[in-house]
Amino acid sequence: MSDAGRTPATGGVRTVRIAEDRDGQRLDNFLLGYLKGAPRSLVYKIVRSGQVRVNGGRVRADRRLEGGDEVRIPPVRIEDPAAKGSPSPGLLEAMAASIVFEDARLLAINKPSGIASHGGSGISFGVIETLRALRPNQELELVHRLDRDTSGLMVVAKKRSALSELQALMREDAGAGLRKRYLALLLGRMPDGVMSVDAPLHVGLRQGGERHVQVDPAGKPSLSHFRVLERRGGQSYCEVRIETGRTHQIRVHARHIGHAVAGDDKYGDAEANRRLRERIGLRRLFLHATSLEFALDGGRAPYVLTAPLAPDLVEALDRLA
């Protein structure tokens, strides 16, 4: 059957033929959209166990699909979305207030720290579920994701054509068609100028399915550029440009060069984080996606989207002076 109907496969095995407009979409993202309400952990589990097949063969979750591929999807039990209720009024209000740009094709938000990109792993409502609750009559799909603890710019597609074109830009030249810029506070004194980190990253899974990333020659090519904007209180406030969009890329590259991101409880320095928490009230990761530049319509429609630094990070930075 075609994926046009997109009815969740709950009662039995289904074989879904991938439509041409989904060409290039990752398998995990396709399944998350097809199996509405399925936790991300469940999607990865059925792929890893071989229950999901593409053209009869086992595949990885990051497999890029092609138009005409046939995807075998096993029966899965998905909680009725109505049973989860709806996002809280506070979350709905925060998400509505976070919108920084919108046109006929795209919607961009300044995501608050602490909100996941999507539900799953004990989280009922992430960015996409909350936006869909706000706009129940619109087709909304995540273009990319941010870590739960990272704040800043996230882009959501309102049209399938825009999603497909942006996904193509992310695939080409390791995502060079999307120019991403972040702001981060790094521990210690970074040297002047631009420090480029060209270090391959490998994503591993710890017990319980938690992702852990490390520099590994067998990993995927990853390139980040760190530039000090100013030094405050012995720390370095930096602009970070990334030419690839790997999981936890900035955080792992920052640790790799000996200047972990302040407030990073996964890859950072616990003692330094404690001191910053007591000194400037920094209680979360100081990493903010501040801008994204790209062009649609074959380069004829340029976009420059920005999201101002989150207020709690501005206050923490001011206390460092």
Q: What is the DSSP string of 173-224?
A: GGGTTSEEEEEEEESS-PPSSEEEEE--EEEEE-TTS-EEEEE-TTSB--EE
Catalytic positions, written as ranges: 147
Q: What is the pLDDT of residue 25?
A: 86
Q: What is the pLDDT of residue 124?
A: 72
Smallest CA-to-CA distance from 212 within 201, 224, 204, 221 is with 204
Q: Are 233 and 281 in contact (CB under 8 A)?
A: no
CB contact set of 222 (below 8 Å; sequence gap of 6+): 197, 198, 199, 200, 201, 244, 246, 249, 253
Smallest CA-to-CA distance from 254 within 210, 285, 291, 290 is with 285
10-residue stretch averages of pLDDT, the chain, 321 residues long: 45 85 84 80 89 93 90 81 72 94 96 85 79 91 90 95 88 74 97 94 73 91 95 96 91 97 96 96 97 93 96 95 73
Please report, for the chain, the start and end positions of each structural domain, with discontinuous segments joined by +.
14-73, 84-162, 172-320
pTM of the complete model: 0.77
> Taking the domain 172-320, which CATH number applies?
3.30.2350.10
Smallest CA-to-CA distance from 63 within 90, 89, 29, 88 is with 29
Q: What is the pLDDT of residue 198?
A: 96
Separation between Cα atoms, residue 26 and residue 60, nearest integer Å: 10
Q: Which fold has domain 14-73?
A: 3.10.290
Q: Residue 283 in 3-state DSSP?
A: coil
Q: Do domains 14-73 and 84-162 have the same CATH topology?
A: no
In order of 215, 225, 230, 247, the CA distances from 267 in angstroms are 12, 18, 23, 13
Q: What is the pLDDT of residue 211?
A: 77
Q: What is the pLDDT of residue 314?
A: 96
Separation between Cα atoms, residue 60 and residue 107, nearest integer Å: 30
The class level of CATH for 84-162 reads alpha beta
